[in-house]
Amino acid sequence: MNQLELLSPAGDLQIFKAVVNVGADAVYFGGDLFGARAYAKNFSIEEAAEAIRYAHTHGARAYLTVNTLLKNTEIERNLYTYLRDYVNAGIDAFIVQDFGVFSFIREYFPDTHVHISTQASLCTKYGAKFFEDLGAKRIVTAREISIDEIRAIHESSPDLEIESFIHGALCVCYSGQCLMSSILGGRSGNRGRCAQPCRLPYDAFDKDGNKLNKKGQYILSPKDFCTINYLPDMINAGVNSFKIEGRMKQLEYATGVVSVYRHYIDEYLYRGAKNYKVTEVDIQKLLDYGNRSGFTDLYLHKHNGPEMITFEAPSHKKVEGATVDISEKKKRVDCYIKALAGRDFSIKFVAEDGREATVTGDVVQEAKNKPTTKEDIIKAASGLGNTPYTMGNIHVDYDDNIFLPVSAIKNARREAIEILSASQMVEELPKTIIDFKELKALPNTKFPARCFVNLAKEHQLDAVVKCDFVDEIAVPVSLFEKASKGFSGDVYVSLPSILRKDYVTKIDIPKDAAGVLASSFDELGLLKEMGYPDDKVILDHRLYTFNNRSIKQFRELGYKSNCIPYELSLKELKHRDNGGSQMIVYSKIPMMITANCTVKNTVGCKKNNDIITVVDRKNESLSVECNCDYCYNTIYNSKKYVAFDLKDELKELGADEYRLDFTIEDFKETMDILLSYKSTFIENSPVHLHDNYTKGHLKRGVE
């Protein structure tokens, strides 16, 4: 097993040093660019360099979050010099979400470790293996997966490091799959600016208008995660990095939580799992440092459940005055000095862990005037104030009537302490840095775009087969047989938005399918293991191709087709390589994919693919669809996303296909949209849009 690591967040330099002092083995933090907490204080490169030095001096590691989706201009203009400064400062690893950023680091900084963020939504051994084969050192698992699912990943990839969250706030949506803050308020979670709409009040209603939530309005707000009782189980499952959430939390929270988990990880290491027991006093300490309506550990054992939802106002509660000692924990050293006339002067420091360092100086001379006394030697050797050490015993073997310059003693002391410090610093790999080459955006070739329809329901298929202008379709595997008989064009199989271990056996792709529409890295890994041809896979919009680096890397792996993400503007898309891309021109934007089920959490599990309505504080109605085949909910925007009136601008982008996504529409809605598409894009008639609709981010974009 890899060495166990307690990983703490830090929002500033003071917190960084403090959590190292209370026992963190590693610290993750954000710089002034590209981190998933854009509103945190974050670190300047000067502060980061000091933090990295501090960590390494104390035997700890430092990781930088670069876990947002990047636009072309950001990658080509800023990313290289930004990362290079951190590599030169000694950063131990980068935490990334964007596939383009991942490939960028592997290309230009090949010796620097890359950790795949929880934003990649990795749930299975297949996604883990996908990244391991590409050179990832570590994955951060999705917060929703259980101990058994973690164990399956570890058993499949025993050399891959596994990092899992153990404490702190939970997102109700699979991380990296949330567009709710982005679409409703323009603050993108994928860009580090989440406004946390999940923490707002909602009411839920069934199709007959009956109110479902009786316990409270905060039905999308999870309690804080706390796994302190199950650390031995997580260790045995293969977790070796235990991650605390909270880069925007205060000093008292970070140091307090770290100190408790440090104690119990040490308890496990010293006493083993049989004697592991958490006291109520320490549980209360964690509650005092901060909680939301208590704690939950449900995801470690179950897929979902109402006991992990706050239902009441989810403010973060803490008890004032709950603090721990954050003073620098200095290591004791004993000092051995030899100052004998006619022999080389030497000073040796021996640390309490057995490490030692010796420095030999010039030959000690006899005194001609005032001799150097034992007290002089001890005073000059004792100046350890700004080092991570405190003096223990000093042993001095010396002759009377010798002369030894105080400066020589001090210089030897400093050199010996530097050697001793270097011996405990985290071992650093050679930092190779490759010269940067800008990836130039090529002009998009403009061809008439084909029509691709992605549908979910049988009545939607009934509508599509009546339309001879539709070139290709994607359907769930359950509809493939009917679609292949009734539709004359190519039929693809659409895979679920999220894939979990228990549902892998449901992925059965017919041999005569034109290809697959894949939504996750887990599915890409599964398809590879199945031997499915990469060039028959379409990367759905959830496999973000935000920039040309990601498109290039996917193409080099054999994936030729992709779907343009929702969060890029028309202006930004002009600089994106859109050849081989689908452009969604109609959908009800899926804003959240949740492991938790709003139906189960309010009235109990029905397993009948319910569609309910959630109403927010502005009286907007959001549809929530239960996908009981794969056990997740999808929350859709209240407004339809329609880009028909932008057809002239869309033509300039050079996308291969215009795509219509049908999810919860009835037959009439589906047919109306299809006929409107035909009128607009085929017959070039004026656009008439009567419904409440949005253009998404095509005009405004995201920061």
The DSSP bridge partners found for residue 493 are: 475, 516
Quote the pTM value.
0.92
323 contacts 250 by C-beta, under 8 angstroms: no
Contact 241, 181 (CB under 8 A): no
Residue 632 CB neighbour total at 10 angstroms: 27
Q: Is the separation of the CB atoms in 86 and 34 below 8 Å?
A: no
CA torsion 673-677-680-683 (nearest 10°) is -120
Beta strands at 356-363 and 344-351: parallel, antiparallel or unpaired: antiparallel
At 40 the pLDDT is 59
Please tell me the number of Cα atoms within 13 Å of 651 on its side-chain side: 9
Are 687 and 647 in contact by the 8 Å Cβ rule? The answer is yes
For every residue of 128-163, DSSP letters joined together read HHHHHHTT-SEEE--TT--HHHHHHHHHH-TTSEEE
List Cα–Cα distances, 212 to 199, 205, 293, 613, in angstroms.
18, 5, 21, 10
Could you read off the pLDDT of 211-237 as tens digits, one per residue? Answer: 999 999 999 999 999 999 999 999 999
**For the CA atoms of 178, 179, 185, 188, what is the dihedral angle to 10 degrees?**
80
- Token look-up 């702190």 returns 168
**Distance set, CA 168 to CA 250, 315, 316 (Å):** 13, 13, 10
Neighbours of 418 (CB within 10 A): 13
CA distance 470 to 161: 46
Beta strand 621-627 with 218-222: parallel, antiparallel or unpaired? unpaired
Q: How many CB atoms lie within 10 A of CB 278?
A: 16
DSSP string covering 455-483, please? --SHHHHHHHTT-TT--EEEE-GGGHHHH
Residue 155: φ, ψ to 5°: -65, -30
pLDDT at 78: 92
Query: 450-594+642-694 belongs to which CATH class?
Result: alpha beta
Q: What gap in Å lies between CA 629 and CA 235, rounded to an integer?
A: 31
User: Distance from first CA to last CA of the chain, Å, rounded?
Assistant: 42
What tokens appear for 575 in the block? 């600089």
DSSP reduced 3-state for 36: coil
Q: Give Cβ neighbours of residue 510 (< 8 Å, ≥ 6 apart).
A: 477, 480, 481, 484, 493
What CA–CA distance (Å, rounded) separates 134 from 572? Answer: 28
Burial code of 99-136, b = ≥16 C-beta within 10 A, e = fewer? Answer: bbbbbbbeebbeebbbbbbbbbbbbbbbbbbbbbeeeb
How large is the angle between the packed helices 548-556 and 99-108, nearest 10 degrees?
80
Identify the DSSP state of 644: G
According to DSSP, residue 291 is labeled B
Burial of 436 (0-12, 13-18, 19+ CB in 10 A): middle
Q: Are 5-170+223-311 and 450-594+642-694 equal in CATH topology?
A: yes
Question: Quick one: fold of 5-170+223-311?
Answer: TIM Barrel (3.20.20)
Query: Is there a contact between 337 and 377 (Cβ–Cβ < 8 Å)?
Result: yes
Q: How many helices (H) and strands (E) does the chain have?
A: 21, 33
Q: How confident is the model at residue 427, as a pLDDT? A: 60
Give the containing element (helix H, strand E) for 600.
helix 598-602
Under 8 Å between Cβ of 323 and 256: yes
Separation between Cα atoms, residue 8 and residue 27, nearest integer Å: 5
Q: Which residues contact 637 (CB under 8 A, 6 or more apart)?
A: 183, 184, 588, 589, 591, 622, 694
- Identify the H or E element spanning 615: strand 611-615
Contact by Cβ (8 Å): 64, 30: yes
User: What is the helix (H) or strand (E) element at residue 220, kind and residue range?
Assistant: strand 218-222
> What is residue 63's predicted lDDT score, i.e. its pLDDT?
98
In which region does residue 140 sit, left (phi positive, over 0), alpha (psi from -120 to 50) or beta (all else)?
beta
Whether the CB-CB separation of 176 and 118 falls below 8 Å is answered with: yes
b/e burial code for range 162-175 (CB count within 10 A of at least 16 → b): bbbbbbbbbbbbbb
- Of 695, 621, 701, 619, the closest CA to residue 664 belongs to 621
Note the pLDDT of residue 59: 87
pLDDT at 356: 92
Report residues of the chain scoring pLDDT below 50: 1
What are the sequence ranges of the domains in the chain?
5-170+223-311, 331-424, 450-594+642-694
pLDDT of residue 611: 96
**Helix 125-133 vs helix 147-156: crossing angle, to nearest 10:** 40
Instruction: Name the nearest CA neighbour of 598 among 209, 303, 306, 170.
Output: 306
Q: What is the pLDDT of residue 335?
A: 95
